[in-house]
Every structure is written in C-alpha cells, then in structure tokens.
Amino acid sequence: MKATFCLLLTLLAVYTSTGAGNELRPIFNGKDWDGWDLRGQANYAIVDGVIVGTTGKGGHGWLCTRKPYGDFILEAEVRIETGNAGIQIRSHIDAKDTMVGYQIEVDPTPRAWSGGLYEQGRRGWLQNLTNNPAARAAFKKSDWNHYRIEARGDWIRSWVNGVAATDYLDAMDLDGVIALQVHAGQNVKVEYRNIRLADLGRASWKPLWNGTSLEGWRAVGKGQWTIVDGAIHGANAASEKEFGHLVSKESFKDFVVRLKYKAVAGNSGLYFRIAEKGFSGVTGFQAEIDPANDVGGLYETNGRSWVSQPKPAEVKKWYRPNQWNSMTVHAHGGRIKVDVNGFQTAELANDPGRTEGPVALQVHGGQDVDVWFKDIEILDGAK
C-alpha cells in the first residue's frame, strides 16, 4: 500500500501542467489563421468570426493547430448543414496530407453518431454510438451544437450538448494536433466557433524495466529468466510442473502498462494486481499471452478462471504469430481494458476483483515455454 501511494505521488509530480488549472482560453483569434495551417483539399474562410469549411476539390480537408497538444479540455460549437465532419485530436499529418489520429465525429445523418470516436487513417471506428441512444438524440442538425472533449492520459471523453458520448481508454497516441475537418465528398458545409482549450500538459511513457538487468523484479517459483539482446527471455520445461513468475517489487493500483512480447511456445501472461499465494504461486488477473488461441483475454488465476475469453476468429484479427506483439493493460478502479496491437481484446466495466498489487510475467508449468518480453513501460500522468 505504501509503495502504491508513493507511486501515485510520483506520477502526479512528473505530470506537468502548462495551463492555469482548467481555464479555457481561445485558440482561434476570429480574424486570421495565426497558429493554424490549412491542409488537404477543402476550403476554409472566416465569416464574422466563424470558421466556415466547405468542399473544395472533393477530398478531405483539415484546419490544423500548429501546436501539438497532449492532455486538454476542448470546447467548441459546431453547425453543419450538409455532409460530414469531425474534430481531430492527438493527430498527425504528413507531407502528403495523410491524416492519422483520433476524431470526434460530426454526423448529421440519420445514423447520428455525432460525438463518437473514429480513428482517421488507421483503425476506423473505436466507439460508435449504436448503444448510446441518448447521445444519438443530442445532436441538432443545422443548428449550433456544443462539443466538449477531454483527453487525460489514456482516457478520451466527449459530450454533445451536455450529453455524454465517447468514453474510451486508448494510449496509442498521447499528443498531436487538433484539426477541424471537412469530409471528402460534395456540397459539404460545416461551421466552427468559440473554440477554447485548457492545456493540461502531457502524459508520457516511463520504463518499468530498465532493459539491462532484473533490478526491481524478482523471480518466484520455477522457470528461467535471462536477458538477451535487450529482452527478457522466459523459459520452462514440460517436465517442470511448477509455474514461474517474474514479479515487480513495486505495487500498483490504477495504471496503464504496455510491453512487447513474442510467444514462441507454451503459455504465458501479463499479470497485474496479484497476490503471492495459491497453487500456481500467484493469484489475480492475467492478460493472456500464448502462441495461438486466447491472446488478449482476461483470466483470473485461483479465482473465476476466464472472465473474458476471445473467440479464435477474433484472435486472428489482432495476433501476429512468431512476431513481436504489443499489449497494453488499462486499470482504473473496476474498469479494466486490454489491447493487443491496437485492438481492444477485453474490457470490464465494473469488476469486483482485486484493486492493487504487483505486475508479473509468467512461464506456465507443465509446458515447454519459450517467451520474450521487452519495452515494458508505465504511463506517467494517467488518470
């Protein structure tokens, strides 16, 4: 408990704020494009202090902030008459005008997904509003709509006219530009005004393993743990029935942890909020790591067994056999989410299980295990 408390104080200290509290300040002066860049094929004009975006050559267009932002609160008013638009956040655009990043949707169609979370240029829809009828009813077509967007660490939220829309955990991009989009197509017209922002600083990844030694970790049970070419190699033999774990000496409560792994043979897992007890040596959650079947599922050792088990067809979408894969575990109170290679593989909204403990890497007992880990990091500033 003491270690957890100290860690949380450290995270708060490292988390730097460049704004004055949560004070919202204008980031558009209402007169010219100072601080902004026009990219893509749309047309943008300023009419009576309002940004008016319209179809140009038919492709996407963006009005981008020159300054990148990490954690922030953004408020703006949006009115759209025809077409589709959105507000990009933590986004990146290259010299060929390719936009990649999160977008909070502006959608006046009967689908009514305004406020939902789409990722431009990469994964597509992350959280639509199919199961959020209140948010789907909040947007007013051809009228001004108030948007509020918050990005804090791995947590992205949005509200449309005061109604909650997006509520999503993701840490693939932690900063980038804000951009006002005009969607590709014909006869698109969208207006933006009263754009204000509170800059809350930036969260950042910090090493949880130093890459050279096992300092800060200790082996529990059987198995062999060695360091080879900047990676931790875990091995066990099928003749050895006892499990092995490499356990962090630090304890964690709310956190975001990510790593890269390669599962050559046997079963493994990224454990978190564990206690050192039970037949396998530890008790608690593991995000599943194996060479084929259940990658990214949530299993509770010495407890409920499978809490969220993916189907084999789903695993094929996100797992890369015999390659390095990325895994991220988000834990905020009873809300737990697992991502593999950017795909959400498991999520619990209000889990009643353990709320704190160390993290650990596993080599399964009774199997020939050959698994590798590297780039183990924790998100400083996650809230």
HEC readout, 285-318: EEEEECCCCCCCCEEEECCCEEEECCCHHHHHHH
Rg of the Cα atoms in the chain: 23
Indicate the residue among 177, 202, 227 that finishes a domain: 202
The answer to whether residues 80 and 212 belong to one domain is no
CATH number at residue 347: 2.60.120.560
Q: Are 226 and 217 in contact (CB under 8 A)?
A: no
Residue 367 is assigned to a structural domain of this protein: yes
3-state secondary structure of 378: strand
Residue 126 is assigned to a structural domain of this protein: yes
Phi/psi of residue 313, nearest 5 degrees: -65, -35
Digitized pLDDT (tens) for each residue of the chain, 383 residues in all: 333 333 333 333 333 334 446 899 999 999 999 999 999 999 999 999 999 999 999 999 999 999 999 999 999 999 998 899 999 999 999 888 899 999 999 999 999 999 999 999 999 999 999 999 999 999 999 999 999 999 999 999 999 999 999 999 999 999 999 999 999 998 899 999 999 999 999 999 999 999 999 999 999 999 999 999 999 999 999 999 999 999 999 999 999 999 999 999 999 999 999 999 998 999 999 999 999 899 999 999 999 999 999 999 999 999 999 999 999 999 999 999 999 999 999 999 999 999 999 999 999 999 999 999 999 999 986 44
Q: Are 107 and 192 in contact (CB under 8 A)?
A: no
Q: Where are the alpha helices (DSSP H) in 296-383?
A: 312-318
Residue 317 is assigned to a structural domain of this protein: yes
The answer to whether residues 251 and 119 belong to one domain is no
- Provide the domain limits for residue 101: 13-202
d(CA 205, CA 271): 19
Indicate the residue among 202, 218, 237 that finishes a domain: 202
The answer to whether residues 173 and 268 belong to one domain is no
Residue 4 is assigned to a structural domain of this protein: no
* The model's pTM: 0.91
Beta bridge partners of 43: 54
Residue 350 is assigned to a structural domain of this protein: yes
The answer to whether residues 62 and 177 belong to one domain is yes
Indicate the residue among 202, 220, 246 that finishes a domain: 202
- Containing 220, the helix (H) or strand (E) segment is strand 217-221
Task: Report how many domains make up the chain.
Answer: 2
Residue 127 is assigned to a structural domain of this protein: yes
